[in-house]
Amino acid sequence: MILNISEISKAFDGKDILRDVSFHIEEHEKAALVGVNGAGKSTLLKIIMGILTPDSGTAVLSHDREIGYLAQHQELTGELSIYEQLLSVKQELLDLYDKMRRSEQRMSLLSGDALEAEMASYSKITEAYERGGGYAYKSEVVGVLKGLGFSEEDFTKRIGELSGGQKTRVALGKLLLTAPDIILLDEPTNHLDMHSIEWLETYLINYKGAVLIVSHDRYFLNRVVTKVIEIENGRSRTYRGNYDAFSEKKEQLRKAALSAYLNAVNERRHQEEVIAKLKSFNREKSIKRAESREKLLMKMDIPDKPAEAAGSISLRFTPGLESGNDVLTVKGLTKAYDGITLFEQVDFEIKKGEHVALIGSNGTGKSTLLKILNEAVSPDAGSFVFGTNVISGYYDQEMQVLSGHKSIFEEISDDYPSMTNTEIRTKLAAFLFTDDDVFKLIDSLSGGERARVSLCKLMLSDANLLFLDEPTNHLDINSREVLESAIRAYDGTVFYVSHDRYFINRTATRILDLTHGKLLNYIGNYDYYLEKKEAVEKANLPSETDGVSQAFETASKMDWKAQKEQEARKRKQKNDLLKIEKQIEDLEKRDREIDLQFEDPDVMSDAKKLAELSEEKNRLAEALENAYGTWEQLSSDES
């Protein structure tokens, strides 16, 4: 065991945040700390690091072990470059290198015993230098920087010039190079693109030390962790496995608890009915039996009703009007900034009902493309056309669609003047804004609160085409899952930008990968994209431009084939569904005929005929039961 958390409690302003939280982290273990926003995850990390003091309980690190911590926000300053900042982690090796050089200079001037003594000293220094990775540290630093998304041109940038996200990446790089025995990471993927997240996953999986991660990135957690510690209502519970295993086990426990609660309630109700019936007989024996049952009933323990997930929004998108089949057609779209072309001659179409994810590295122009389609930015060339009856709604990750000087209530009422005060309050309550919260100014809200206001407005818009720019950025895991369910159930069309691979995997029916200024098309979810991407990359030619063209052509051919296979599967499912529906119809028709025959006086007097009909009706009932099961399965597969 490298870290032991024992019965930690912490309250702020009289409100319990953590209550008797206990768990431990083993050496080399990779664990996740999950919970809704405000559950106390970051607070717990700060307690472990000694930044905050618990009201009770202890956090004990094993003797002679080092711990490292990445906070969500970094205050790095100074004139060092990015490369120099990471290189400072290797100061011990740099000092050894200087000692080696100085020793070499001295050896060139010495002889005899003095030379032998210096050579012995030099040998020890060299051994220490090699043992510490002295001949590999430069490539290690460069590898970490590139893995975290910095280009070689970025290496010379001064820390003081960097954005908050860049500073967080620098701090993460320093922490990884320091290689402590256990690392605490608070939302490490927030400022990373997909390629950098994938690199970090691989790095952490192979990391020799232990890791405790707070993250909303479920795909990341699935790949990295083998244990999940959930903080819920201030208390902790530990689950073995990755995020999916935790989610499945948690749902099983919730269902078991709900079943136990309902069984206990039903048993109590049954006993109360029996007692009432016994008393109604008004006989000495029955009254005694009723009293005996009442004593047992008083001792009956009813478990608490399982609470629904705290802090979950209620979200459902409903198109106000059905669009035509051709929703969006884009031709020759081109955009450049400061002489750098983001994308050029981009063509694509989106059909009704598609859920299309636009992915790519940071800086490739994904959000810019969305802004162009929403007329917030003008293209340099090209055009786009919306189809018949298309009504679009836009969720902007910068949330510029919100007016900072307005209250939450005004933000809704001004855009939807026909709604009554009660209707507005009801809708806002579904997004966790109740009582006086609705009068908070937009400017005073946290990122998560602003996200909920934006989603509320989008839900009210009745749009049949949703544009979403990083919709999960400020949402906790529960809210992300609610949004996923809403998107999956949405009958309209969705075009979104996201780096949340779990979200993409659950909601996308097609993926457009913006790379080298061009779009590669993949018909399927994120897992399908990963599978086919490898084949596309193998098809690349040496020339970057030709390679992209070749890859695009290869991807198109593969996706055409996949699309045809998918269409064939859908046709088969539809035919199978029609067949089973016809079978059910015939079986039900025959069942009704038998019921009518039972009413025939001649049949009623014929015992043999009655037995035959009864046996046939039993066979029909069994066949219908099987047919209904098949129909449910086929209906589920089709959806």
Supply the pLDDT for residue 550: 46
Summarised one tens digit per residue, pLDDT across range 431-456 is 888 888 899 998 888 888 888 888 88
498-515 tens-digit pLDDT: 989 999 999 999 999 998
| Buried-exposed string 106-126: b where 16+ CB fall within 10 A, e elsewhere | eeeeeeeeeeeebeeebeebe
Which SS3 state, helix, strand or coil, does residue 187 take? coil
What is residue 594's predicted lDDT score, i.e. its pLDDT?
85
Provide the pLDDT for residue 358. 95
Who has greater pLDDT, 545 or 350?
350
What CATH number matches the domain at 326-538, 2.60.120.860, 3.40.50.300, 3.30.1360.170, 3.30.70.250? 3.40.50.300
pLDDT at 350: 94
**Could you tell me the pLDDT band of residue 144, with boundaries at 50, 70 and 90?**
very high
**Range with the poorest average pLDDT among 66-75, 245-254, 466-475, 575-584:** 575-584
Shared fold status for 43-246 and 326-538: yes
Q: Are 132 and 92 in contact (CB under 8 A)?
A: yes
Average pLDDT, the chain: 86
Q: For the residues 189-193, what does the mean pLDDT come to? A: 84
Task: Give the Cα separation of 23 and 626 in Å (integer).
Answer: 48
497 three-class SS: strand
- Residue positions counted in the chain: 639
Q: What is the pLDDT of residue 629?
A: 65
pLDDT of residue 557: 53
Q: Provide the pLDDT for residue 33.
A: 95
Q: Is the pLDDT of residue 542 over 50?
A: no
**Cα separation of 639 and 632, whole Å?**
11
User: pTM score, two decimals?
Assistant: 0.70
Please, which contacts does 95-103 make with residues 24 or more away whose CB atoms are closer than 8 Å?
96/125, 96/128, 96/129, 96/132, 96/134, 97/129, 97/134, 99/125, 100/125, 100/126, 100/129
Provide the percentage of residues in the chain whose pLDDT is more than 90: 40
64 φψ region: left (φ > 0), alpha (ψ -120 to 50), beta (else): left
Three-state secondary structure call for residue 60: strand
Q: What was the pLDDT predicted at 544? A: 37
Task: Report which of residues 478 and 42 the model is more confident about.
Answer: 42
Closest residue by Cα to residue 99 from 144, 132, 54, 74: 132
Residue with the larger pLDDT of the pair 469 and 310: 469
Q: Where is pLDDT greater, at 626 or 619? A: 619
User: Shortest CA distance to 21 belongs to which of 307, 251, 238?
Assistant: 238
pLDDT at 546: 40
What CA–CA distance (Å, rounded) separates 57 from 7? Answer: 5
Q: Taking 60 as the threshold, does the pLDDT of residue 551 lie above it? A: no
pLDDT at residue 549 greater than cutoff 50? no
Q: What is the pLDDT of residue 507?
A: 93
- On whether the 43-246 domain is CATH 3.40.50.1980, my answer is no
Give the pLDDT band of residue 26 (cuts 50, 70, 90).
very high
Q: How confident is the model at residue 162 (pLDDT cuts 50, 70, 90)?
A: confident
Domain assignments of the chain as residue spans, ordered by start:
43-246, 251-299, 326-538, 569-638
> What confidence tier does 639 reach under pLDDT thresholds 50, 70, 90?
low
Question: Could you give the CA distance from residue 517 to residue 345 in angstroms, rounded to a whole number?
Answer: 8
Residue 64, φ and ψ in degrees, nearest 5: 60, 25
Q: Give pLDDT, residue 2.
A: 94
> Which residue would you say has higher pLDDT here, 538 or 455?
455
**More confident position, 576 or 370:** 370
Which range in 137-151, 311-325, 591-605 is most confidently predicted, on average pLDDT? 137-151
Q: Which residues pair with 185 in a beta bridge?
A: 70, 213
pLDDT of amino acid 257: 82
In the DSSP assignment, the letter for residue 410 is: H
Choose the most confident range, by mean pLDDT, from 33-42, 283-292, 559-568. Answer: 33-42
